[in-house]
Structure 1
Amino acid sequence: MTATNQSPGVSAGTDRTPHGRTLTGSLGVTAIVFMVVAAASPLTVVGGAAPLGILLGNGVGFPAMYAISAVVLLLFSVGLATMAKHVPRPGAFFTFVGYGLGRPMGLATAYLALLTYTTIQVSVYGYLGYILEVTIAGLGGLDLPWYLYALAMIGAVGILGYRHIELSSKVLGVLLVGEILIVLALVAAVVFSGGAEGLSLAPFEPANVVSGAPGVGLMFAIAAFIGFEATAIFRDEAKDPSRTIPIATYVAVIGIGIFYTLATWGLVMAWGPSEVVDVAAQDPGAMVIITTLNYLGPIGEIVINILLITSMFACVLSFHNVITRYQHSMSAAGVLPHRLGDVHHKHLSPYTSSLVQTITAGVFVIAFAVLGLDPVLQVFTWFAGVATLAIAILMAITSIAVIVYFTRKRRGVASLWHTVIAPALGLVGLVGSAVVITAYFPMLVGDVDATGVPTFGALSLSLIAVILLVPVAGYVQALLLKARDPQAYERITAAIGG
């Protein structure tokens, strides 16, 4: 494996200087799936987001939202995987959009992707800091504020992110296996015991699916998948990327969809359709731990508590790697500082980008602490909501780009199903999801009137404005480059296309 000074698309040499520009590696399907599924953070979703989806969303029908989301995202993945075969560049969303819709839209999408992954990462840092605070204090340890624990985790993630990606993939693989096994053990215990009210398909009955606030339920469900689409960002570090990336994408979305649907169905069955919402209302943060205590005993409770912490750590580590590689690709395109594209001569990692990302996360956590935000009800909930709406928009734009790209430039290179039909069906689902999420967004951040009806107040409008203005900044940057430095604008093609 070597790091070179060549630009993307140029054959690699053997230069091992400290400021190489090209990432290399030999990640296989399993390693990449571990990376992106760890970003989805299975146990964090089951233990943190699922109870909130049941409580604030559509109650008993919430598990069906994972199945619905999986179908929509699988259709989206068909176009994504096909594009990965024909556009030999890392960068995922912004690269594909650049090739399909032009450089300005590609750059706009790049900034929207950075916003998505940054907000979901810092939201989990808030939850992780809170869990560490209450867990350590409960064990008789130091009673420190959540943000100090969050900053410590940022430091640990920064150390791993500074080193080669294969180290991170091994750490994530071990943690991910533990998460999956404990959840499957819990579901098995519920099934063998017959649940609280007997086993049923009540979560998938249409009346339950559309009950309560399905838009909020859909928001939590789609948020659980964030990260699977980042398979393409690891292209330069993948073994046989034309084969590895598409397979990893399909495996990730199908596996995540089945796992979450099964796990949340088990959670509903554990308490029974008539009681599960009331149980979630009592203490959503501890719901999965109490459930595990009831079905797997004290040892199971201890194990799941530990794995809940490691699950969140795996999540932020995975998103750290995704963000650093987005920044690296944007640096290669000439739209972020040149130093962000540096590759470490020994670890072969985008180490400068990793350091910058570590500092950025630290600044956000310090800002949240100064503002006195609650780590769960505000940091986690608000910023996870921002990321969810942003990812739905991001995927919708990418679906359009796939259709346009193959219609205009690559007609005949793949079947109509892969290049038009599946992406179009995915687009319809994603646009519908974005509309529903937007309608219920005020409820997520607490902007409701006296009767509980969602109302677009200052907070919800401000957060939505950020989602809209960030990509506009990228679009404007591209236009300014085109006007002021045509040569630099042309160089964007090497990484973004257009």
Structure 2
Amino acid sequence: MTATKETTAGTIPPRALTGSLGVTAIVLMVVAAAAPLTVIGGAAPLGILLGNGVGFPAMFAIAAIVLLFFAVGLAAMTRHVPKPGAFFTFVNYGLGKPAGLATAFLALLTYTTIQVSVHGYVGYILSVTVTGVGGPDLPWYLYSLAVVALVGVLGYRHIDLSSKVLGVLLIGEVGIVLVLVAAVVIAGGADGLSLAPFEPNNVLSGSPSVGLMFAIAAFIGFESTAIFRDEAKDPARTIPRATYVAVVGIGVFYTLASWALVMAWGPDGVVAQAAEDPGAMILITTLKYLGSVGELVMNVLLITSMLACVLSFHNVITRYQHSMSTAKVLPDVLSSVHPKHFAPHVSSVVQTVTAGLLVVLFALLGLDPILQVFTWFSGVATLSVALLMAVTSIAVVVYFARTKRDRRLWNTVIAPSLGFVGLLVSATMIGLNFPFLIGDVNAAGEPAFGVLTAVLLGLIVLFPLAGLLQALWLRRNRPAVYAQITEAIGA
């Protein structure tokens, strides 16, 4: 049902979302956004090949620890700031409205770019798969548009439907990976089982900074738990628990699965296997340990993993837009809630149209769905989310130092400060390796800060700048709207 509240600006009253999502439902949605099977099938082989080789599984554990520090501060804010919006809301309360709006626009860029990058990937995989089984040879973007439409239908309806669909898909992809892990353990791997991936000399080998970059990117989505606050049952308890379960669960799963991938080929052979065909490494490993039937199941679940990912991010973006609309910084119509489905249906339609138009644009530009659409825009999202979380960590410390609403030193100062340091270091490494991440190379094939890097980094600057300028304009020209921004969020 909807709730209304008169505003001082005299505009159409905002409409709030309602629901009864529990910890499990929210965890399923945010873990689905992280796309665990896609990470193990795509990011892990690249982390092994381009990062620190045998030691790459340890990067997932390190990333999980850094993000757990961040999660402590995030959970503290959700208890004392009872409003949805996550980055947008918490930075608003901690660092002020201009910083909050800058963060909001950067968050929209982050989630939109990661979603559209996966749309490119899933379109390509579907095209290859259908052609491989004798189907019509259709261009990737037609499959991407079909997925956009399917996600749009699910996103338009009640959040419970999405959570059920995501739950089924997630159980499938996690299940097949755990079966593969068990098969590797039972077989004893290629050269026996060991803890070689966690030995310091292996962790620090190769390019650890590149490995950590891939690991941080694999967690994108877990932080979105707070966005579902209005639709959660007992949100003061549900959201913090879901946040902790998500980051710990993702971290353990990634570490275990990537360790098994190393064991499957042995510490002496895994890098060579990753170099042979990183994109197909998970399928080749599955064929080796689970046979042709297991390989087929893995291939199908790779596709559904990406479907779950884009559906989850669709839900995140629509609710972000809803929160911003409620705060009067986006058109009011985006705050509308469907009288039957109780979902932000207008925001969902806008997000569906946005994703569809971007896919059409990339098709017209002739971009490659993997080397350009997926690589470029997942790179933008990776750097953006590290910056977002770093800024939010500072906002947590500042908020509690100013308000004294929570005097737990670990939760409000120490943990978020450690998270900030870890995230700042991560963001710096990602920034320095950004050309490498997006494939911007010079004539010699070496990563270089070229035009492509400048354009994509420019997006990361322009979007928050637009939010900052909007805040300054509202403060000067519409002071009543500016004054109520924080209060309106989640009204």
Task: Give the TM-score normalised by the residue count of structure 1.
Answer: 0.95
The CA deviation at 1:281 is 1.9
1:400 correspondence with 2:399: no
1:131 correspondence with 2:125: yes
Listed as ranges, the matches of 1:80-91 within 5 Å are 80-91=74-85
Alignment-derived partner of residue 190 in structure 2 = 196
- Contact 2:5-2:13 within 8 A present in 1 as well: no
1:211 correspondence with 2:205: yes
Give deviations 1:314-365, integer Å, cap 9, x for gaps.
Answer: 0000000000000000000000001111000000000000000000001111
- Contact 1:95-1:495 within 8 A present in 2 as well: no
Distance 2:105 2:159 in 1: 23
Alignment-derived partner of residue 137 in structure 2 = 143
- Contact 2:326-2:489 within 8 A present in 1 as well: no
From 463, 469, 473, the counterpart of 2:456: 463
Moved more, 299-308 or 279-288: 279-288
- Contact 1:100-1:404 within 8 A present in 2 as well: yes
Distance 2:351 2:488 in 1: 21
The CA deviation at 1:493 is 2.0
Q: CA 1:496–1:400 in structure 2 vs 1: closer, same or farther (change >3 Å)? A: farther
Unaligned runs of 5+ in 2: none
Give deviations 1:79-101, integer Å, cap 9, x for gaps.
Answer: 00000000010000110000000
Alignment-derived partner of residue 3 in structure 2 = 4
User: Secondary structure of 1:347's partner?
Assistant: coil
Distance 2:139 2:404 in 1: 55
- Contact 2:38-2:306 within 8 A present in 1 as well: yes
Q: CA 1:104–1:450 in structure 2 vs 1: closer, same or farther (change >3 Å)? A: same
From 286, 290, 293, the counterpart of 2:280: 286
Alignment-derived partner of residue 363 in structure 1 = 357
Alignment-derived partner of residue 167 in structure 1 = 161
Distance 1:234 1:414 in 2: 26
Give deviations 1:365-420, integer Å, cap 9, x for gaps.
Answer: 11111111111121111111110100000000000000000001125x24110000
Distance 1:495 1:286 in 2: 48
Moved more, 436-445 or 234-243: 436-445
Alignment-derived partner of residue 240 in structure 2 = 246
The CA deviation at 1:53 is 1.7
Distance 1:218 1:328 in 2: 33
Alignment-derived partner of residue 427 in structure 2 = 434
User: Secondary structure of 2:433's partner?
Assistant: helix
Alignment-derived partner of residue 100 in structure 1 = 94
Identity fraction in percent: 71
- Contact 1:89-1:495 within 8 A present in 2 as well: no
1:350 correspondence with 2:344: yes
From 448, 473, 487, the counterpart of 1:494: 487
Moved more, 346-355 or 379-388: 379-388
Listed as ranges, the matches of 1:375-386 within 5 Å are 375-386=369-380
User: Secondary structure of 1:221's partner?
Assistant: helix
- Contact 2:120-2:141 within 8 A present in 1 as well: yes
Give deviations 1:16-61, integer Å, cap 9, x for gaps.
Answer: xx99711000000000000100001111111122112222222222
From 62, 68, 78, the counterpart of 2:62: 68
Aligned length: 486
Moved more, 280-289 or 350-359: 280-289
The CA deviation at 1:216 is 2.3
Distance 1:417 1:304 in 2: 42
Q: Quote the RMSD (CA, aligned, Å).
A: 1.6
Distance 1:481 1:234 in 2: 27
